């Protein structure tokens, strides 16, 4: 029974349920004394148990236990081994909670160097969760030391050290994808490039299998399959050995590759050197109870602040704001008011405290943690918003709001370290064609027959219905039809406006409509997979984006393309994350003018979906993605306008073009009903102008 309780306690600790874990561990240790052999054998060596002691406040017991196990591990494995360092770090956490600051710093500073060095090792989610808790605790300690006599006494830069630790604690999924494409771009030897791709594919397979193992552990205990879990672990170990062999061979052929794929956490000094005039870099690290903020200007000193607002409170605020950005409306009257008070509160607590480090910038680069990554930062007001009862038309009062996007362009980065390869290896091959676009796919025979009469019927009043590029849109136009118990590709509605969007972009960029534009039946999975996309600077997809579960049997993110019943191809019509990763791109940016492509896809996910990760892996330097379902008319205006702006001024960067397009849409007259000629609604509501975020390197232009 004690073994089962111990396992259950470890699982609960891995999930962050330390209260539940403590109950299980107490039942497991009932009647067992610390000096007994049973205790030493089963519990002293279990890091989940010792960490639970810390989190439960049993600090003296934790210090005593970790002192003993640390000494044992040091003798058995050596001082630089991960197990030894982890025991030391957990003791440091206990000492920190006991207010023994100097002793805690001694343990944590010594341990984290080892832990960070080995953190790339795969295969143990429990270890990864413990590492996150340890690093968050160390950042909290450094924030407490910052600006005190203890900082001077220890001879450290607490804010700078915390910055490096925060970067090391972040998930590396997207950063890994960015680094992967950059590494391939840096190598010109075809054989070496193929070897690199095999190494990266092996690593991706390990990630997928590890995620599967975690899902199995998350299932109810009765539903868990020990044999399946063990088989997966065996496969992971086999893949890890193969990956190590490939990596060793690559390192022999290209020493530079090791520097690219295993970068050291970027320091504030490194970031500052990579910034360009008018840029500032802002990093926001969110832990359970606190948030830590850094702002690094192109000129001047870094600003640091630690504020008492944690993950749960921020999640509640973000969730409230998203309700008005993703309300699933049928009409314009269904769109709720955007809560500018909550939005300003977020700004005041998470960005304004380091304002001195970014206030003079015209371009802002952000790295943010969950759950803030679910919100486009452009919607945060920089000043309190006064109510305006006198509205000329629906949502017009939002034109007066001092949105952050009015002050500066905004670019998201997957991590601090991702800035290094994006800026270092930013140039693409000369002679690439400008554009290729896919849009308005056809999903059913009924939609195909309607194409013949398209444009012959009178238009509906736009006041009655709002067209949203959402998921599970039926042919009748219903959004997320509750009556649908089973959803397939043919249930998706056509998005005819996306054809005009792709054609307009192509016209602005002077692309060839025959060779560069693929609409309706031609917007097929076979066409995408068979084309050479590595010679295109800009690649656009204007269609529905899907996440797992949106369609029956869909288990990964995907873009919906024309159905096989329409194309006659032997394909399923879904360009999945796995399909995208197999593409070979050399793109300046990829436009995902679809719904929900920027939504985070699970615990610890970055501000970009699996589709975004896949396109970075395939080889793009930037992505324009939507964070919630877009209203199709405003989306078309926004995306086409930014290319018009870049064509007009070829020195205009991607980030500035997006900013100017957003501000123009906010200030525009609004949506005019085709029948009455009256303004239906202003586009100043963030639902219309804020869905798109630029991720990656926003500094490139068309020059």
CA distance 455 to 578: 37
Helix (H, G, I), strand (E, B) or coil at 693: strand
Q: Any idea which of 26-40, 146-160, 587-601 has the lowest mean pLDDT?
A: 26-40
Residues in the chain: 703
Does residue 74 surpass a pLDDT of 90? Answer: no
Query: What average pLDDT is seen over the chain?
Result: 82
Contact 620, 590 (CB under 8 A): yes
Same domain for 105 and 140?
yes
Which H helix or E strand runs over 149? Answer: helix 149-154
The tokens for 497 are 């406006």
* pLDDT computed for residue 484 by the predictor: 44
Could you give the CA distance from residue 703 to residue 690 in angstroms, rounded to a whole number?
26
Residues 231 and 274 in one domain: no
The least confident of 98-107, 180-189, 294-303, 539-548 is 180-189
Residue span of the structural domain in which 481 resides: 433-451+463-584
Query: φ, ψ for residue 622 (rounded to 5)?
Result: -155, 155
- Decide if 93 is inside a domain: yes
d(CA 560, CA 234): 35
Q: How confident is the model at residue 608 (pLDDT cuts 50, 70, 90)?
A: low
SS (H, E, C) 436-450: EEEECCCCCHHHHHH
Encoded tokens for 645: 């702006």
Please state the pTM of the whole predicted model. Answer: 0.83
Residues 412 and 444 in one domain: no
User: SS3 sequence, 40-108?
Assistant: HHHCCCCHHHHHHHHHCCCHHHHHHHHHHHHHHHHHHHCCCCHHHHHHHHHHHHHHHHCCCHHHHHHHH
Q: Is the dihedral of CA 189, 195, 201, 203 positive or negative?
A: negative
DSSP string, 566-592: HH--SS-SEEEHHHHHT----BSEEEE
Of 463, 472, 497, give the one whose Cα is nearest residue 632: 497
Minimal CA–CA distance to 681: which of 666, 670, 668?
Answer: 670
381 within a domain of the structure (yes/no)? yes
Both 12 and 126 in a single domain? yes
Beta-carbon contacts of 124 under 8 Å, excluding residues fewer than 6 positions away, are none
Q: Which of 100, 135, 156 is the last residue of a domain?
A: 156
Q: Quick one: CA dihedral 165, 169, 175, 177, positive or negative?
A: positive
Query: Domain of 404: which CATH number?
Result: 3.30.420
Domain termination residue (choose one: 584, 611, 642): 584
Which residues 6+ apart lie within 8 Å of 471 measured at CB?
A: 480, 544, 545, 546, 547, 550, 595, 596, 629
At which of 137, 156, 175 does a domain end?
156
Percent pLDDT > 70 in the chain is 79
What tens digit of pLDDT does each residue of 464-518 get? 456 665 543 333 333 344 444 457 888 888 888 788 889 989 999 999 999 999 9
Backbone φ, ψ for residue 624 (5° rounding) = -105, 115
- Residues 43 and 103 occupy one common structural domain: yes
Q: How confident is the model over 413-465, as pLDDT tens digits?
A: 988 888 887 887 656 777 899 999 999 999 988 888 887 676 543 334 444 45
Q: Any idea of the CA torsion for 222, 227, 233, 237, to the nearest 10 degrees?
A: 170
Number of domains within the chain: 4
The secondary element (H helix, E strand) that includes residue 520 is: none
For residues 196 and 277, membership in a common domain is answered with no
151 and 12 together in one domain: yes
Q: Is the residue at 375 inside a domain?
A: yes
Hey, what are 198's tokens? Answer: 């095999």
Specify if 573 maps to a domain. yes
**Per-residue pLDDT reduced to its tens digit, 334-388:** 888 999 999 999 999 999 999 999 999 999 999 998 889 889 999 999 999 987 6
Q: What is the predicted pLDDT for the residue at 260?
A: 59
Reported as a single tens digit per residue, the pLDDT across 521-531 is: 999 999 999 99
Cα–Cα dist 113/189, whole Å: 35
Residues 476 and 577 in one domain: yes
Q: What is the pLDDT of residues 236-291, one digit of tens each?
A: 788 878 888 888 888 788 766 666 566 666 899 999 999 999 999 999 999 989 99
CATH number for the domain spanning 26: value is 1.25.40.10
The model's pLDDT over 122-164, given as tens digits with 9 standing for 90+, comes to 446 678 788 889 999 999 999 999 999 999 999 999 999 999 9
Please indicate, yes or no, if residue 477 is contained in any of the structural domains: yes
User: Are 209 and 330 in the same domain?
Assistant: no
* Whether 303 and 329 share a structural domain: yes
The answer as to whether 631 is a domain residue is: no
pLDDT in tens, 364-377: 999 998 889 889 99
Residue 663: strand, helix, or coil: helix
Tell me, what DSSP letter sits at residue 381?
Answer: B
C-alpha to C-alpha distances, 335 to 324, 325, 637, 638, nearest whole angstrom = 7, 8, 20, 19
pLDDT value at 701 more than 90: no
pLDDT of residue 483: 45
SS3 string of 469-489? ECCCCCCCCCCCCCCCCCCCH
Residues 201 and 89 in one domain: no
pLDDT band at 703 (very low <50, low <70, confident <90, very high): confident
365 and 441 fall within a common domain: no
Whether residue 543 lies inside any domain: the answer is: yes
Residue 273 lies in a domain: yes
* Phi, psi (rounded to 5 degrees) for 217: -65, -30
The H helix count followed by the E strand count for the chain is 29, 18
Q: What are the φ and ψ backbone dihedral angles of 630, each rounded to 5 degrees?
A: -100, 145
């Amino acid at each position: 029974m004690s073994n089962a309780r111990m396992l259950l306690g470890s699982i609960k600790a891995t999930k962050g349920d330390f209260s539940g874990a403590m109950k299980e561990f107490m039942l497991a240790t009932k009647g067992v004394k610390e000096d007994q052999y049973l205790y030493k054998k089963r519990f002293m060596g279990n890091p989940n148990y010792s960490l639970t002691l810390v989190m439960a406040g049993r600090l003296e017991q934790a210090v005593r236990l970790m002192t003993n196990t640390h000494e044992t591990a040091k003798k058995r494995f050596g001082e630089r081994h991960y197990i030894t360092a982890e025991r030391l770090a957990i003791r440091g956490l206990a000492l920190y909670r006991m207010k023994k600051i100097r002793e805690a710093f001694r343990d944590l500073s010594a341990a984290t160097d080892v832990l960070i060095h080995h953190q790339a090792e795969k295969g143990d989610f429990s270890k990864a969760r413990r590492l996150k808790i340890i690093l968050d605790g160390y950042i909290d300690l450094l924030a407490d030391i910052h600006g005190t006599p203890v900082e001077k006494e220890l001879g450290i830069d607490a804010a700078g050290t915390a910055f490096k630790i925060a970067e090391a604690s972040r998930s590396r999924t997207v950063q890994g994808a960015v680094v992967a494409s950059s590494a391939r771009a840096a190598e010109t030897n075809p054989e070496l490039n193929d070897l690199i791709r095999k190494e990266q594919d092996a690593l991706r397979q390990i990630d997928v299998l590890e995620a599967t193992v975690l899902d199995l552990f998350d299932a109810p205990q009765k539903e868990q399959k020990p044999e399946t879990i063990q088989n997966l672990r065996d496969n992971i170990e086999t893949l890890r050995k193969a990956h190590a062999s490939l990596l060793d061979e690559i390192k022999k052929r290209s020493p530079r590759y090791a520097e690219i794929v295993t970068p050291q956490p970027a320091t504030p000094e490194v970031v500052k050197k990579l910034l360009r005039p008018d840029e500032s870099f802002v990093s926001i690290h969110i832990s359970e109870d606190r948030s830590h903020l850094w702002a690094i200007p192109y000129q001047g000193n870094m600003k640091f602040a630690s504020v008492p607002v944690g993950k749960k409170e921020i999640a509640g605020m973000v969730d409230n704001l998203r309700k008005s950005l993703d309300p699933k409306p049928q009409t314009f009257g269904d769109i709720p008011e955007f809560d500018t008070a909550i939005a300003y509160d977020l700004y005041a607590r998470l960005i304004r405290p380091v304002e001195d480090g970014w206030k003079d910038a015209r371009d802002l680069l952000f790295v943010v943690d969950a759950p803030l990554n679910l919100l486009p930062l452009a919607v945060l007001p920089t000043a309190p918003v006064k109510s305006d009862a006198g509205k000329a038309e629906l949502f017009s009062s939002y034109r007066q709001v001092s949105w952050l996007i009015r002050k500066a362009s905004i670019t998201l980065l997957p991590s601090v370290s991702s800035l290094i390869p994006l800026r270092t290896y930013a140039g693409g091959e000369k002679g690439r064609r400008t554009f290729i676009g896919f849009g308005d796919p056809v999903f059913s025979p009924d939609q195909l027959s309607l194409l013949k009469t398209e444009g012959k019927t009178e238009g509906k009043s736009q006041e009655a219905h709002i067209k949203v590029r959402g998921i599970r849109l039926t042919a009748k136009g219903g959004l997320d039809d509750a009556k649908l118990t089973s959803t397939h590709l043919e249930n998706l509605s056509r998005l005819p406006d996306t054809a005009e969007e792709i054609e307009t972009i192509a016209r602005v960029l002077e692309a060839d409509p025959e060779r560069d534009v693929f609409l309706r039946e031609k917007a097929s999975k076979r066409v995408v997979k068979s084309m050479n996309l590595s010679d295109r600077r800009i690649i656009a997809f204007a269609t529905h984006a899907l996440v797992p579960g949106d369609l029956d049997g869909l288990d990964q993110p995907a873009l919906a393309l024309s159905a096989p019943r329409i194309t006659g191809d032997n394909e399923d019509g879904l360009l999945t994350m796995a399909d995208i990763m197999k593409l070979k791109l050399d793109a300046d940016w990829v436009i995902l003018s679809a719904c929900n492509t920027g939504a985070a896809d699970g615990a610890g996910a970055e501000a970009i979906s699996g589709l975004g990760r896949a396109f970075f892996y395939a080889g793009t330097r930037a992505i324009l993605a939507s964070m919630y379902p877009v209203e199709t008319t405003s989306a078309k205006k926004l995306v086409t306008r930014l290319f018009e702006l870049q064509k007009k001024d070829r020195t205009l960067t991607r980030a500035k073009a997006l900013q100017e397009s957003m501000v123009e849409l906010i200030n525009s007259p609004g949506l005019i009903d085709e029948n009455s000629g009256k303004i239906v609604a202003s586009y100043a509501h963030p639902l219309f102008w804020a869905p798109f975020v630029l991720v990656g390197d926003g500094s490139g232009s068309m020059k």
